[in-house]
A and B are shown apart, each in its own frame.
Chain A
Amino acid sequence: MKTIKKYFFRDIPSAMGTIISLGIILFMIIGPAATKYDPLEVDMGAKLVAPGASHIFGTDEMGRDLFSRLAYGSWYSMGTALAVVLLAAAFGIVAGGIAGYAGGGVYNVLMRICDVFLSFPQIFLAMIIAAAIGAGIGPTIFALAVSWWPNYARMVRGMVIVIKEKLYVESAKSIGMHPVRIIFRIIIPQTMSMVIPQITMGIGNALIAASGFSFIGLGAQMPTPEWGAMISQGSRYVFNAPYYVVIPGIFIFLSVLGFSLLGDSLQEATNPELKNI
């Protein structure tokens, strides 16, 4: 109980983060079961129906039920965000771990590569990649992960440099443990206290970036019910059906809010010295 309180219910923002995140996860699970409408089912007789009794969030320009689309779409949107962050983190951890442990030339080369990736606005890099391999959810995940891994690599590198001087790493070396095993079995698990809160916070940023991609037409394509694609489509009808833009946006807002507050809370619980940053 105490641990749960420490990690998830530290104060009001942390409790809010936990509750909102749980709410979003619940919506993902229960939402699709709670609706009788198919997210792709066209009903030309019910075009742009405002939210009401028959369609609680209204319908889109093809008469598709927005609640159903949001519920099924949550898997696309949240799935994309999670995949981006996990992929970027995995790659960043490996690169940062190796650079930090090896030092010297390997370190310099890997970190200069990071510099290049970090020195131009990430959306442009992602746009180029999306242009190169085509639009869609897969390319979006790849493009964002490629432009995000340096953030994780830098953070992990910094930690590894400190950890590798510790006595237990020395003793692992002295019993002849292989460097690869030292990095992955001993050092990297130590960095997780920093990485996991960052991943949680990153989900929110990834959600904004990925939905933005769909918004400009490089991400998920209609009729896939991804939230950003829905806003993009809805923006054409914003003046007569504002709910079509407003509601998916609120879902994105709440998800980002929930996961960033939760990430903050985990950060404070695991690294109290970083409080308030």
Chain B
Amino acid sequence: MDTFLKQKDIYCFAALAIIIVILPVFVESKYYFIVLNVIGLNTIVVVGLNLLIGFAGQISLGHAAFYGLGSYFSGILTVNYGFPLWPAMIVGMLATGMIAYLIGYPSLKLRGHYLVMATLGFGIIVNILMGELEQFTGGHDGLIGIPQLAIGGLTFDNDLKNFYLIWSFVFLSMLAARNLLNSRVGRALRAVHGSETAANSLGINTADYKVKVFVLSAMFASISGSLYAHYITFISPSSYDFYYSIQVVTMVIVGGMGSLWGSLFGAGVLTFISEALHVAKQYHIIAYGIFLCLVLVFLPEGILVGCYHFFLRRKARKLIKRGENLNIS
């Protein structure tokens, strides 16, 4: 699990920063910018969700709702009530966190997979409300005219500027997740994942940690949702359905549960596949399903970590073989 959480991290983060800065030079078409930005937005959600799945061992099938709450809080507060942009985003994040606490607290107090049921129900209710509370949300037609974000005089009004904005958030959220996991909290979480009873007996309040990490992961999703709303400037309920929740869960698993860099990988690969299959939209579902099943059956630790382990094993086998040869000669 902690294969990718070592000192190498600093090189990885440096590499990520450099790639983010120079990548736009190589990207020419507007279309690829949009794909990259969507990858960034998904990565933020996936990093947050991976904290929950990979480190607390709990499933959420309602992350579309938290993502959507971020979008709708930002959208409704700025469009209908003329809120300033950044405070609206922070209000959205805090409110989403609070709602997640209300959902998570009762269901995580129980042993077993109650969170998956609660988040599933919650996700569907929120999606229905988005469509039905027309006076606030614009109903099924969606909410239009959401203003673009701006810092001082700089408005993020094209894909390149949004690329830098979104990917700075990706960078920050990954850094935050990495630091959290290498802290006392992170060690406690890993202990909880390893054995709840053992963690409990060492004085870790397991339920408390699980609720906290759930709230945190909902807030990650909310930030990403706000960024999405301000970037696309149009939101509608269909972007936040049950299917999106499954998509992000798939990204976590393909990338590797509990692997930070895997989250980036999973979000990147699967978003790209979705976009590549855009022409043949009906193959979407089937492609995701096959990907999910193959990875789960053969590489349950995720593609990146799984291949890395495979590589390590081969190396070890080679070393053993060489040792044998030496013995013989």
A and B part of one assembly: no
